[in-house]
Amino acid sequence: MKTLESYCTQIIDAAIESVKPSVLIPKSVRIEKGKLFIADSVFDLTAINNIYIIGAGKASGFMAYEIEKILGSKITQGVVSVYDSSNIKLDTIKLIEAGHPLPDDKSLTAGKEIFELASSADQNDLVITLLSGGGSALMELLPQGILLDDYRELTNLLLQSGADINEINIVRKAISKIKGGKLAEAISPAKSITLIISDVVGDNLESIASGPTFIKGKINQDVKSVFNKYDLFDKIPHSITNYFSEIYDDSQQSHLQIENQNIFIIGNNLTALNAAKKKAEQLGFDSKIVN
């Protein structure tokens, strides 16, 4: 007779298995007769000169592994920032291990290399970006004058203050040169595909890895309200307060329109919940998902 613990383990295992890149990528991505199929979309690769793979996140190394299995020699070059690459062997895509939850020097190295590779792509190229949880810390590019130690201190202050992920990412995007759609600007005019495994409740594209390839028609990042809410103004490093006072206007809006943007959430919390529910029902439980 199986115990309740055994049933719970099976249900949890089913949820975790459902959101692994080894399950999600083959289910969502395939190539056939010169065409790339992603979900219900089709991309003609016959006119593409180069395919570049970039990305960041704790699962993005395994995403890169699965993409290499599908695209193989069609990949020209790639750089992906991960937390741990010890169990991942790739042929073409370079993995950089970086810091999480606080960014480190390797996060800056990864951000620089990813941004430079994205910027090198032209209108006849395709850039595929792989994003997953942890991408915000693992890939960073800071403005001149802001020190990494100060940025880490700010991140730590936000984490300790109780700021939620959306509020933290408002600040991150305002400072970063790669977040908040700025990576999409670097990719343009190349064609862009973003594959996401989301750990953000509600799948807000602005919040997943701080939205490096997501551009809204109008952006209003209310940094001051976050600082005021958690009484952080007197605690923030001077290099960051100076940056905001001299450069950043919190009513700043971006009207940049980027074409060839294709963003796919291939797995999320609901994917795991549905798998857990299905397994529970298979085991004889009356199950439902409660918001």
Question: What is the separation of C-alpha 94 from the centre of its chain, rounded to a whole number of angstroms?
Answer: 17
Q: Give the CATH number of domain 20-267.
A: 3.40.50.10180
Does the CA dihedral 258-92-208-274 come out positive or negative?
positive
d(CA 251, CA 220): 6
Reported as half-sphere exposure (CB side, CA atoms, 13 A), residue 274 has a value of 7
d(CA 29, CA 88): 20
Does the CA dihedral 33-194-117-183 come out positive or negative?
positive
Phi, then psi, of 271 in degrees rounded to 5: -55, -45
In a 3-state reduction of DSSP, which class is residue 222? coil
Residue 101, preceding bond cis, omega within 30 degrees? yes
Residue 226 class from Cβ within 10 Å (0-12 exposed, 13-18 middle, 19+ buried)? buried
> Would you tell me how many other CB atoms lie within 10 Å of the CB of residue 64?
29
* Pick from 17, 160, 61: nearest CA to 101: 160
Written as one letter, the residue type at 156 is: N
Q: Are 31 and 45 in contact (CB under 8 A)?
A: yes
d(CA 256, CA 238): 31
Q: Are 52 and 125 in contact (CB under 8 A)?
A: yes
Q: Are 29 and 72 in contact (CB under 8 A)?
A: no
d(CA 63, CA 115): 19
> Would you tell me how many other CB atoms lie within 10 Å of the CB of residue 164?
12
In a 3-state reduction of DSSP, which class is residue 20? coil
Q: Which residue bears the tokens 């609901």?
A: 270
Which pLDDT score, from 0 to 100, does residue 261 have? 75
Which pLDDT score, from 0 to 100, does residue 265 have? 98
In a 3-state reduction of DSSP, which class is residue 280? helix
Domain range list for the chain: 20-267
The two structure tokens encoding residue 6:
């055994």
Q: Are 114 and 81 in contact (CB under 8 A)?
A: yes
Q: Are 109 and 178 in contact (CB under 8 A)?
A: no
The most distant pair of C-alpha atoms in the chain lies apart, rounded to whole Å, by: 68
Which pLDDT score, from 0 to 100, does residue 218 have? 47
**Stated pTM of the model:** 0.91
pLDDT by residue, tens only, the chain of 291 residues: 578 999 999 999 999 999 999 999 999 999 999 999 999 999 999 999 999 999 999 999 999 999 999 999 999 999 999 999 989 999 999 999 999 988 999 999 999 999 999 999 999 999 999 999 999 999 999 999 899 999 999 999 999 999 998 888 888 888 999 999 999 999 999 999 999 999 998 998 988 998 999 986 544 457 888 999 999 989 999 999 888 876 555 444 444 555 557 999 999 999 999 999 999 999 999 999 997
H or E segment at 75? strand 75-82
Angle between the 238-246 and 148-161 helix axes, to the nearest 10 degrees? 90
